[in-house]
Amino acid sequence: MSEGFTEQDAALLDELGVEVAPRKAASYTVREERIIAGFEEIQRFVDSHGRVPERSDDRDLFERLYAVRLGRILADDEWRELIAPLDRQALLSSRVDEMTPFPEALDDNELLAELGGEAETPDISDLRHVRSSAEKRAAEEIATRTRCEDFERFRPLFEQVQKDIDMGLRETRPFERKAEIEPGRFFVLGGQKAYVAEMGRIFTQDYGDKDARLRVIFDNGTESNLLRRSLQRALHKDEAGRRVTEATAGPLFADQTADGDEASGTIYVLRSKSDLPFISENRDLVHKIGVTSGSVQERIAGARLQATFLLADVEIVASYKLYNIDPGKLETLIHRVFGPARLDIGIKDRFGNPVTPREWFLVPLNVIDQAVERIRDGTITRCAYDVSTASLVG
């Protein structure tokens, strides 16, 4: 276990394809890098399709190539030893049966010919390492992925963007145009998050299009120095390719609005007047936290008839007007932060049906105030609620 990570953290990072422990310190040879890159393409295929690639004639040409490539790795002890630390899907336990009908000496282009296809311009989402003698332009467009030596600089960025996505501050949307590719932007390609760390000077290609060289960091600890148009084509070709939106600005809380501000609603904090034993014993700590785009008074009207209000009247103990923010996303964010303190209260509604209200939390009012301040200054995504200390941490 890496220092600073819990088992839960490690499991989550593994699900995201982020390596908790760095790869071996020794640098790889060009041949080893090509083998690793080819294996990573097989892994992305398995992530996408949920199975190992197959050689049968009714399969896609690229799938058949991946199957041959996997067979070679399985049949070669040196290659198996190289790949073993990266085998997160247990592919090395696959059967070799009839996976290697072609001589090992054939390269990817010759394999494609044997399989009934022709080599195309390489693309980082498929045959990145297919090379033909006439592909000078392809070699300029796509660079081999290598291990990112300073990945620890970027790891917190990937972790933060995932938190932003989980909390609704960012979204993944279909990629649309090249102008979206610029330093500081995140994308999803081949099931991995990709971060554009740097962009070189813009130049004009021989065929007239403007382009630029990028340094792209991937969340599995590798990087590639590829052209912007190559990344553009890869994102268009990948059916699951996405761009990650910028984090939405935090809500504005103010006594007076600025010109152009539009009211979005109100965060409200309520206490229940229910006579349920747990509620009456902890009345000062049990709060319902919600967001409404209308009036809070209208929202709580008839509370005693609604199971979400525990079939009892409530009192408003705090409210915060908000501007220029999506109420639904904000409510989701708040509930995620206080999720560890969510109460599991089971009651029956007035018709006798069992109901479990989801917006009641065992949280002190002053901590809710602190959370609102952290929303205002944009640092809420770094916070978590610690039930043992009844405080925000992070």
Q: Which residues of the chain fall short of a pLDDT of 70?
A: 1-27, 95-144, 167-168, 206-208, 247-263, 324
26: which residues sit within 8 A by CB, 6+ positions away? none
For residue 368, what pLDDT is reported?
92
Q: What is the pLDDT of residue 195?
A: 94
Strand partners, 342: 361
pLDDT of residue 8: 56
Q: What is the DSSP letter of 134?
A: T
Q: How many angstroms separate the CA atoms of 138 and 146, rounded?
A: 18
Q: Which long-range contacts (CB under 8 A, 24 or more apart) does 363-371 make?
A: 363/285, 363/287, 363/289, 363/338, 363/390, 364/284, 364/285, 364/390, 365/269, 365/284, 365/287, 365/317, 365/318, 367/391, 367/392, 368/269, 368/287, 368/289, 368/318, 369/318, 371/334, 371/337, 371/338
The domains located in the chain, with CATH, are: 7-118 (no CATH), 147-244 (2.30.30.30), 263-393 (no CATH)
pTM tops 0.85, yes or no: no
Q: What is the pLDDT of residue 356?
A: 85
SS3 category, 165: helix
Whether 339 and 387 have beta carbons less than 8 Å apart is answered as: no
State the DSSP H helix or E strand holding residue 196, giving kind and residue range, or none if neither.
strand 192-204
